[in-house]
Structure 1
């Protein structure tokens, strides 16, 4: 056999290293005899007499031995410094560096084009005979998976399903030109869609006050239109952030997004997605929850309404769930033998559509359906930039999470296939996809893990496979209305089917719970990071209250606490039980709009749109009296005329909080704003500010107001 054994000599200045010795010994010789042969060969070189092996057997065959003798001095770092000479480093002068930086050569221009437009590098080198078949099969397989996922993830983003198809088309085409990864699939992703939906529902809740005096159907359409506007705004801003980070070479930020942090966050997001899909699977009506323990509240709300579940929706959803789960296990087990994974999601949509149309589930069993998909593409539209100050925190989070997911999958597939991806260029590519895509009514996109594995596993070689998948989506967008014009029910896919598709696609994220034993064995610190991120993302969030009156009393408490508590018509009382300072001032402003349902930016935008429409109708672009238009487009039902900010429990406010309140007063200029039960500390700061202003300006009637008087207008 061959024995490897290090050997050291005790004599100073000498070292021996035995790499291997081939020792022909008997079949029954144990390992210690091989070691004895090594010692017999090397002991003379060490100045020692070899010992005879008393246990040698007759069947052992002695062979010629080879002796190793190595002698060299022992070096230390000071000795090396004395014997060796440090190489002089000659650096160019600043002038030479500037000259080199601003010198324009054909090679430098070509490299810049290759860097900014990677398609110009790999497309001319495209090996048609080797790549075309793999890209063709991969594109078709990815396309049939992208269709149902686009519809389903639009539900998470709180926008109509057709916008999921738009988000599956435009960004994919643009990434083909600007992306450096050859295998990832760009488009809607569950976690990013959930984050978009959180912003949209927060700013445009179900019970928002929408100008227009419309019925329930038109009110839902108006609400969805506002949510699309919010999604476009946050998508544009996140795209701008990603593009600027890429231009500034901030691709290295992915280093600081450690794997435990990202995986803990995405696992918690998967739980959020799962709980948000339960109500569609069971066919029950519940409101969306946000804030602390929103996952628990959502789950409890579904369980409390189980008695009202739609048996038909649950049956269809569970049937599709079982089909997808079993089919994915089949694909995984036989992936080496299958030419391409079976497109189970596509078959589920076709089956759900057929069942919904054939048995008329919407009318017979009150099954919620997606509805008819509109025909054709929408013209470009400018996102509402006035919403940026409301969504910039969410846009930063979406930009970072989207990039981290994309670069991690891109690096994984690049290492597998032996090429490099550029993190800075990936930021630029995502920024272009999101910012330009927002002009065409798309919401934020990222790399889809499941579709990327399908695109790579079915033989995809380049992003031409992604382009082919997007062309299949374009075919659906352009042909759906024509094909199903006479059967509008056929293109109505049950929401239970889409919820089952979303839940099954979360399987990979739920498998990340297996990280816990691994981190327990390897690093307790990373385990703590994983658990902290998971728990904080899952349960924590800001908590605010809208107060109502306890009948026949002057007691005002949380309207969600007791059934007897009723709101005063036309008045919203908003309370925070914490200081307003730099850390939570933005959260306070956003929560005010979300909880009261009155968002001045959205209302003014809708009002301006209504004014333009009215001016067009009367044929006069200059409407002399805007009040007429304002009254014309006010809701027919209850309106909110007063918002009261309850500062009873506010004991501190800093300069950032003051600026936030000033911004709120400015935004709610058309709404009567009251400050109710102001705390002494806040009141004292207002009095001091008023006295300072009085010293620098002439007195006015407003300056003589008593300090304890309650202001009743925004100007007060």
Structure 2
């Protein structure tokens, strides 16, 4: 079941192929009174879909119309395959620097080739998400800790902001990475290349959007863009002041197209599409869980991957580019009373109508105004408040987040995401490589056995060492475990005859760890010490049986509790 009321006894599991198309179940359960809310919310939502779609398309290095194409069909696809009834998908600012880096590198300024590259990246991203969903890999984004997610998103936000500054000031630079681009922008400004009239328009749009952001249902973006377009047209600023404008948008709806790419572009497109999939699903899963909690619905993360993948495939095959969930458009749909994905379908229909009936509306839209829209979105991506909290409670994670941000800022979006993943793996291995361990004693007036470092008054039984290891046992820490056990035996106040490992935190073992345990057992035996385990979980015990260590040690060395191990020691 993809999305059901939490705790509802009436919810029925979908079976067979229908479970992969949650939209059919929503359609069966659709209540007529929802329609008015969905239509109203769809109309309000469309006031954001058009200007934002155009802005993010231009920010991604693609012609404006393709941002609207990437809005229409994906919304319909997600309505069928997505588990969330409230989520809005479409072009997103967090993906823009990733798409732009690939498009700029491969298209050589050819718009048709840029469109094909964007479409191919969407197909790759969609395929990755669908395969991951089918193989139930929806948990993978949970492997990125919150500080690491903040770090790469702050880096992407910085990259987006820097990439829009040349458009805001009305000049071009050769992109070579966010920080180097920033230096090129400063040099261009010092050479007086800026169009300050356009910059003023873009700045006014940015300020208006930020000021009106608190009014969720108010179409602040649309109003700011309309005012900028009207002022540019009425004052003829394109001719008199050299303000760069969008121009006439082609008329027509998206059609099914297989992107034509060359073999030499394939590796870059695969890498870019995979990076897009990671960022898009990380954002989508967080946003989906947030709104599922608000609406008391349960969302399957694997189905969320499939829904996101289907929407990206739809974008790729219908002249779009990679898309993600939107943390700005989704709240608009919710605040406008949306009840289901019919809201997105209504919004898509209105966007299609605008393309057909009024493409000339965008003729005088200043590029600087579009830059203002994207910069406003980039500002919304930054996370500083929670990072301040992380700095107060765990500084090394704060600096890890900063390193991820620097990685994106120095090397670009795609290498930066790779750096974030590497940091995540290192963080995971480090926690397991150097875990906490303790020698246990029996403190007075406290039940159970506890760390003698925290309870120095705890009593210890002569000849017995109680030792706790707070991590799984695997190749990276097996030698460390053996060393710490031998240290604990050596530090015993009286000659040790038995060491009992409190093994409840040990959730897994691998072959390397078992071999290390075998060697440790022999080393201890030469010292006259027996190695015992207490509270070892049955799945781990089963592994020890398969690996032969259980039979080697004997069942009498595995105790259900620490108390039973202590009792066995006292009985001799």
TM-score, length of structure 1 as denominator length? 0.54
SS in 2 for 1:160: coil
Report the counterpart of residue 143 of structure 1 in structure 2: 46
Query: CA offsets per residue over residues 361-406 of structure 1, 9 Å max, x none?
Result: 2222111111101111243221135332232122111111111100
How far apart are the structure 2 equivalents of 1:202 and 1:323?
34
The partner residue of 1:528 within 386, 399, 414 is 399
How far apart are the structure 2 equivalents of 1:116 and 1:522?
42
How far apart are the structure 1 equivalents of 2:16 and 2:183?
53
Alignment of 1:503-582 (within 5 A): 503-510=375-382, 512-540=383-411
The partner residue of 2:291 within 405, 413, 424 is 413
The alpha-carbon distance between structure 1 residues 166 and 517, as it changes in their structure 2 partners (threshold 3 A), is same
The partner residue of 1:326 within 196, 206, 211 is 211
The question of 1:117 aligning with 2:4 is answered: no
SS in 2 for 1:242: helix
For the 8 Å contact 1:237–1:388, the answer to whether it is kept is no
| Structure 1 residue 302: Cα displacement | 4.1
Report the counterpart of residue 78 of structure 2 in structure 1: 175
Q: Which has the higher contact order (CA 8 A, sep 6+)?
A: 2
How far apart are the structure 2 equivalents of 1:438 and 1:452?
22
| Structure 1 residue 256: Cα displacement | 0.6
- Detail structure 1 runs of 4+ shifted over 6 Å in the superposition: none
| Structure 1 residue 112: Cα displacement | 2.6
Alignment of 1:376-525 (within 5 A): 376-384=252-260, 386=263, 387-481=265-359, 484=360, 491-510=363-382, 512-525=383-396
Runs of at least 5 residues in structure 1 that lack an aligned partner in the other structure: 1-106, 207-222, 332-339, 543-582, 584-716
How far apart are the structure 2 equivalents of 1:321 and 1:302?
22
How far apart are the structure 2 equivalents of 1:184 and 1:412?
10
For the 8 Å contact 1:375–1:477, the answer to whether it is kept is yes
The alpha-carbon distance between structure 1 residues 155 and 302, as it changes in their structure 2 partners (threshold 3 A), is farther
How far apart are the structure 1 equivalents of 2:138 and 2:282?
10
| Structure 1 residue 185: Cα displacement | 0.8
Give the greater-gyration-radius structure (CA). 1
How far apart are the structure 1 equivalents of 2:399 and 2:96?
27
The partner residue of 1:262 within 149, 160, 166 is 149
Greater helix proportion = 2
TM-score, length of structure 2 as denominator length? 0.67
Report the counterpart of residue 92 of structure 2 in structure 1: 189
Report the counterpart of residue 552 of structure 1 in structure 2: none
Runs of at least 5 residues in structure 2 that lack an aligned partner in the other structure: 1-10, 414-421, 423-572
The alpha-carbon distance between structure 1 residues 529 and 128, as it changes in their structure 2 partners (threshold 3 A), is farther
For the 8 Å contact 2:390–2:398, the answer to whether it is kept is yes
RMSD (Å) for aligned C-alpha atoms: 2.2
| Structure 1 residue 284: Cα displacement | 2.4
Query: CA offsets per residue over residues 532-583 of structure 1, 9 Å max, x none?
Result: 21111111369xxxxxxxxxxxxxxxxxxxxxxxxxxxxxxxxxxxxxxxx9
The question of 1:348 aligning with 2:224 is answered: yes
Query: CA offsets per residue over residues 614-667 of structure 1, 9 Å max, x none?
Result: xxxxxxxxxxxxxxxxxxxxxxxxxxxxxxxxxxxxxxxxxxxxxxxxxxxxxx
Report the counterpart of residue 160 of structure 1 in structure 2: 63
How far apart are the structure 1 equivalents of 2:207 and 2:228?
13
How far apart are the structure 2 equivalents of 1:416 and 1:108?
21
Query: CA offsets per residue over residues 193-215 of structure 1, 9 Å max, x none?
Result: 22111100111245xxxxxxxxx
How far apart are the structure 2 equivalents of 1:301 and 1:114?
58
For the 8 Å contact 1:236–1:383, the answer to whether it is kept is no
| Structure 1 residue 299: Cα displacement | 3.7
Query: CA offsets per residue over residues 59-85 of structure 1, 9 Å max, x none?
Result: xxxxxxxxxxxxxxxxxxxxxxxxxxx
SS in 2 for 1:158: coil
Report the counterpart of residue 104 of structure 2 in structure 1: 201
Report the counterpart of residue 34 of structure 1 in structure 2: none
How far apart are the structure 2 equivalents of 1:314 and 1:109?
55
Corresponding pairs, count: 402
How far apart are the structure 2 equivalents of 1:541 and 1:449?
23
